[in-house]
């Protein structure tokens, strides 16, 4: 809980009958023990925690025994493609191609589920996220789009347990790893979960990203936020804040990415799952100039389990989804930057942590054998994360217009990507 291994999935909070709470959601957002925990409950919480360990090979065998495709970077897969929701409203409101929302709506309309666990924005504190069970198309649409601040979907496990009917569940890799652990334990809290979907996951940010963003625009009180969007408008969208009194603050998503090194949740640096490998079906952005130029919204879709694949096939044949298959090599090239960050960088960072005598996660597998230049590159990247995460750096960046910093960030990132192209492509 107190180390950087906690990904804030929320399972310990949800399962603890109020003994553990998230105390400071606009601050460190850490689970804190407030009441008595029996030995039996402690054992369950320890087992359900994905931060310290999650054995990828073992869970793959347990949940995807018949899945024919596997790649170290992508996980188990059946089909990989680029696609989008054919319904233009769903596509437009989704983070990328609206695929996850379209799948949930399709399942609901076919009565294959009675509800979907999704992440919306809080009604009472609209600057924070709130997981809930959506039982209508409108509620699923309301929860569409990516939220880039720390969110703990699994703190609603008691509601999930009480729900009468079948559920689909949407979460980030860490949250899903905990759900898979609970499913394997046959824990009652997850008995209703029939399908698991999720977005790709590069990183998530502390709430300080929002307050810092506001301060850059000379707006100091986050409680004045009426609506907060991370991907508003046409793909790839804008970070947009609507304040009480009518003020609107908006910045291109690619420019708002400048917040990442200043506010990244450290656990994101030790997560080795980019494509949400333990879902039935997962989706990410189709990052390639050919799609980005067209706007509108394109997703990369990966089906993994037999039931996830069947949903994909049926939705395509019924005209609810459009998808063109791509090879694993094309898929890897499209996210080579992300794979380098997660499947090389994370393992090197874990190695550094181990050398410093700190606790490290055990994923049951390790990728290694990277060249000296990649280690050197990681020293630079990790040093930058440490430097830029300091109060002084955060304070300094707030003195400049975000449009300017965002533009510089986008250009620097392009140059950096280009100059490290060979290091990163090696053995991809």
Ligand X SMILES: Cc1cc2nc3c(=O)[nH]c(=O)nc-3n(C[C@H](O)[C@H](O)[C@H](O)COP(=O)(O)OP(=O)(O)OC[C@H]3O[C@@H](n4cnc5c(N)ncnc54)[C@H](O)[C@@H]3O)c2cc1C
Q: Return residues touching ligand X (CB under 6 A).
A: 94-101, 118-119, 143-148, 151, 153, 170-172, 199-202, 204, 283-285, 287, 299, 338
CB 202 within 8 Å of CB 182: no
DSSP codes joined into one string, 276-325: -TTSSEEEEE--SHHHHTT-S--EEEEE-SHHHHHHHHHHHHTTSEEEEE
What's the min distance (Å) between Cβ of 95 and ligand X?
Answer: 4
CB of 265 to ligand X, least distance (A): 9
Which C-beta is closer to ligand X: that of 37 or that of 75?
75
Shortest separation between residue 298's beta carbon and ligand X, angstroms? 9
In angstroms, rounded to a whole number, what is the distance separating the alpha carbons of residues 52 and 398? 35
The distance of closest approach from Cβ of residue 115 to ligand X in the complex, given in angstroms and rounded to an integer, is: 12
Nearest residue (CB) to ligand X, 100 versus 160: 100
Smaller CB separation from ligand X, 106 or 347: 106
Tokens of 194: 């029939």
CB of 310 to ligand X, least distance (A): 18
Nearest to 98 by CA among 299, 232, 289: 299
For ligand X, the closer of residues 37 and 312 by Cβ is: 312
Can you tell me which residue has the tokens 């188990």?
76
Least Å from the CB of residue 146 to ligand X: 4
In sequence order, which residues have a C-beta less than 8 Å from that of residue 234 and are 6 or more positions away?
Answer: 92, 295, 296, 297
The Cα–Cα gap between 97 and 285 comes to 8
Please list, in sequence order, all residues whose beta carbon lies within 8 angstroms of the beta carbon of residue 111, skipping any fewer than 6 positions away: none
Residue nearest to ligand X (CB): 202
Task: Between 37 and 181, name the residue whose CB sits nearer to ligand X.
Answer: 181
Q: Which is nearer to ligand X, 101 or 209 (CB)?
A: 101
| Closest separation in Å from C-beta 205 to ligand X | 8
Q: From the CB of 307, what's the least distance to ligand X, in Å?
A: 18
Euclidean distance between CA atoms 423 and 428, whole angstroms: 10
What tokens appear for 165 in the block? 């009917």
* 191 DSSP 8-state letter: T
> Torsion angle of alpha carbons 150, 153, 154, 157, nearest 10°?
150
Report the residue number, 120 or 406, with the smaller CB distance to ligand X.
Answer: 120
Distance from C-alpha of 241 to C-alpha of 136, rounded to nearest angstrom? 26
Helix, strand or coil, per DSSP, at residue 265 = coil
- Cα-Cα-Cα-Cα torsion 311, 280, 199, 126, nearest 10 degrees, comes to 80
What CA–CA distances, in Å, run from 256 to 171, 394, 403, 410? 23, 14, 8, 9
CB of 197 to ligand X, least distance (A): 8
Minimum distance of ligand X from residue 421's CB (angstroms): 18
Q: CA–CA separation, 100 vs 116, rounded Å?
A: 11
Report the residue number, 247 or 314, with the smaller CB distance to ligand X.
Answer: 314
d(CA 207, CA 28): 8
Q: Please say which residue, 37 or 206, places its beta carbon nearer to ligand X.
A: 206
Nearest residue (CB) to ligand X, 219 versus 322: 322
Structure tokens belonging to residue 150: 């720390």
272 phi and psi angles, rounded to 5 deg: -110, 15
């Amino acid at each position: 809980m107190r180390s950087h291994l906690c990904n804030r999935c929320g399972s310990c909070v949800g399962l603890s009958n109020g003994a553990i709470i998230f105390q400071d959601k606009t601050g460190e957002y850490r689970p804190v023990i407030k009441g008595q925990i029996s030995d039996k409950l402690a054992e369950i919480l320890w087992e359900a925690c994905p931060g310290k360990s999650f054995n990828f090979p073992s869970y793959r065998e347990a949940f995807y025994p018949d899945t024919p495709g596997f790649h170290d970077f992508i996980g188990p897969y059946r089909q990989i493609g680029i696609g989008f929701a054919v319904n233009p409203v769903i596509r437009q409101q989704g983070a990328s191609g609206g695929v996850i929302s379209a799948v949930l709506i399709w399942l609901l309309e076919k009565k294959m589920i009675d509800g979907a666990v999704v992440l919306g924005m809080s009604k009472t504190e609209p600057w924070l996220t709130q997981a809930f069970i959506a039982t209508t198309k409108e509620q699923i649409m309301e929860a569409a789009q990516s939220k880039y601040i720390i969110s703990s979907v699994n703190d609603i496990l008691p509601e999930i347990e009480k729900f009468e009917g079948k559920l689909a569940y949407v979460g980030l890799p860490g949250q899903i790893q905990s759900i898979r652990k609970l499913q394997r334990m046959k824990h009652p809290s997850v008995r209703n979960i029939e399908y698991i979907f999720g977005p790709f996951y590069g990183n998530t940010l502390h709430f300080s990203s929002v307050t810092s963003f506001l301060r850059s625009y000379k707006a100091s009180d986050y409680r004045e936020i009426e609506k907060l969007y991370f991907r508003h408008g046409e793909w790839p969208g804008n970070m947009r804040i609507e304040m009480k009194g009518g003020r609107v603050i908006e910045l291109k998503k690619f420019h708002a990415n400048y917040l990442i090194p200043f506010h990244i949740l450290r656990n994101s640096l030790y997560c080795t799952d980019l494509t949400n490998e333990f879902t039935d079906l997962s989706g990410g952005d189709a990052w390639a100039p050919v799609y980005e130029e067209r706007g509108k919204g394109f997703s990369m879709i990966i089906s993994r389990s037999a039931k996830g694949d069947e949903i994909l096939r049926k939705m395509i044949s019924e005209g609810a989804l459009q998808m063109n298959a791509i090879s694993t090599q094309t898929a890897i090239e499209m996210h080579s930057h992300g794979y380098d960050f997660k499947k090389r960088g994370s393992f090197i960072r874990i190695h550094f942590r181990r050398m410093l005598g700190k606790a490290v996660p055990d994923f049951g597998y390790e990728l290694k054998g990277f060249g000296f230049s990649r280690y050197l590159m990681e020293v630079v990247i990790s040093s930058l994360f440490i430097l830029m995460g300091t109060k002084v750096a955060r304070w300094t960046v707030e003195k400049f217009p975000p449009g300017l910093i965002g533009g510089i960030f986008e250009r620097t990132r392009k140059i950096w990507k280009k100059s490290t192209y060979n290091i990163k492509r090696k053995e991809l």
